[in-house]
């Protein structure tokens, strides 16, 4: 069941440039397969200029806070403003 959820969940494509680091994302895409197809096209287009260092792309799943009820309530990290705020207790 979890694998099916992953496949249908929204994903983005991140660009990893060796000179500039992490770049902008493309997406979100409806599902893993659409994101993988977009990543392949994006990587090919960005690496068309062979005189520059090649970039990599990575597909990352977006997680929804709306689905947290399956995992329990979200808790604030120690020392965070949300934890120290009496309105959030």
DSSP 71: T
pLDDT tens-digit series, residues 25-79: 899 999 999 999 999 999 999 999 999 999 999 999 987 656 544 444 444 444 4
Domain count, the chain: 1
Give the pLDDT score at 55: 93
Residue 73 lies in a domain: no
Please report how many Cα atoms fall inside a 13 Å half-sphere around the Cα of residue 86, on the Cβ side: 0
Residue 26 lies in a domain: yes
Residue 81 lies in a domain: no
Record the pTM. Answer: 0.64
Nearest C-alpha neighbor of 12 from the set 48, 77, 61, 78: 61
Residue 86 lies in a domain: no
Sign, CA dihedral 22-57-39-42, equals: positive
Confidence of residue 12 (pLDDT cuts 50, 70, 90): very high
Which range of residues forms the domain containing residue 42? Answer: 2-64
Q: Is the pLDDT of residue 87 over 60?
A: no
Residue 38 lies in a domain: yes
Going across the sheet that includes 21-30, the strands are 21-30, 10-17, 56-61
More confident call, 1 vs 19: 19
């Amino acid at each position: 069941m979890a694998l099916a959820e992953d496949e249908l969940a929204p994903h983005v494509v991140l660009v990893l440039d060796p000179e500039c680091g992490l770049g902008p994302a493309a997406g979100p895409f409806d599902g893993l397969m659409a994101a993988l197809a977009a990543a392949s096209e994006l990587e090919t287009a960005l690496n068309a200029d062979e005189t520059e260092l090649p970039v990599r792309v990575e597909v990352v799943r977006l997680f929804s806070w709306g689905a947290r009820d399956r995992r329990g309530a979200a808790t604030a990290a120690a020392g965070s403003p949300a934890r120290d705020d009496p309105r959030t207790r």
